[in-house]
Amino acid sequence: MLFKAMTRLAFPLVLALSGCLNQPAPEAASRSEVIKVTSTVQAIDYDKRIVTLKEEDGTSSTVTVSEEVTNLPQVKVGDTVTVELYTGLAAMLKPKGSAQSPDVQVDLGAAKAAAGDRPGLLVANAVTADVRVESVDVKNNKIRVTGPSGLVRELDVMHPDFQAMLKGLKPGDIVEMTYFEAFAVSVEPAAAAKTETTGKSY
C-alpha cells in the first residue's frame, strides 16, 4: 500500500526533526505546518488524460495528468483528491566545543502507488546544515549567523519557540538546522470519502 511506502520514506527524513524535539529547552526548537487541499473529480477524459476537479469553494479546474501516473484508470468521477504539503524547521544547539561542519546534507525520496492501486504520490526532502552564531539580540529577536559557505546573515526570529531558544545562545555556538518538506497526493473513492465525512452510525 502507498501509505506504508510513504511511512518508510518519510521516517528517515523526520529523524532530524524528532531528534531536535527530544532535546530540552532552550537547546532546541521546532515548528511545523500542514496545508491540505481537497477536491472532487467532476469529469475524466482517459484518452487525453484530462481530469476536471471541483474545489471546496465550488470553483473548478482542469489538470493534465502525466504519463508517469500509471493508475489513472482507477480514478472515477466522484472520487476525492487530497493534496497535502508538510513543512518543518528544527534547530538544535550542538555540544560545547563542536566544530561547524562545512557540509550541507540533503536527503531526498519519492514513492508512488503500486500498479493496480489508486494513484498516489509522495515527494520529500530534508536539508541539514550547521550555522555559527555571531551575535544575539534578544530584545529585538534577531540573530547573526555564518552558514557553511561563509555567508553571514542577520535573521528575524519570529516563532515563540525559537525566541525562547534565542535566550540561551551566545557567540561561537554551533546550531544544527534542519528544514523538512513533503508533498503528498492521494485519491479516495467516493464511498470512502463519504464514510470519513459522516462518521459511524450508532
Q: Is residue 109 one of the residues assigned to a domain? A: yes
Task: Report which DSSP code applies to 23.
Answer: S
Q: Write the single-letter amino acid at 91.
A: A
What is the structure's pLDDT at 192? 55
Nearest to 16 by CA among 108, 90, 84: 90
Structural domain harbouring 147: 2-33+83-183
Nearest to 94 by CA among 159, 37, 176: 176
Q: Is residue 156 one of the residues assigned to a domain? A: yes
Q: Is residue 25 one of the residues assigned to a domain? A: yes
- In this structure, the number of other CB atoms found within 10 A of the CB of residue 161 comes to 17
190, 191, 192, 193 alpha-carbon torsion, rounded to 10°: 50
What is the structure's pLDDT at 78? 94
Q: Is residue 163 one of the residues assigned to a domain? A: yes
Q: Is residue 191 one of the residues assigned to a domain? A: no
For 176-196, letters b (16+ CB in 10 Å) and e give bbbebebbbbbbbeeeebeee
Check: CB of residue 184 under 8 Å from CB of residue 6. yes
Nearest to 29 by CA among 89, 109, 116: 89
What is the structure's pLDDT at 160? 94
Q: Is residue 200 one of the residues assigned to a domain? A: no
Domain count, the chain: 1
Q: Is residue 43 one of the residues assigned to a domain? A: no
Ordered per-residue pLDDT tens for the chain, 202 residues: 444 444 444 444 444 444 444 544 469 999 999 999 999 999 999 999 999 999 988 899 999 988 777 788 889 999 999 999 999 999 999 999 999 999 999 999 988 888 778 888 889 999 999 999 999 999 999 999 999 999 999 999 999 999 999 999 999 999 999 999 999 999 988 765 444 444 443 3
Distance CA 176, CA 124 (A): 20
Q: Is residue 41 one of the residues assigned to a domain? A: no
Phi, psi values for residue 92, rounded to 5°: -140, 125
What is the structure's pLDDT at 196? 47
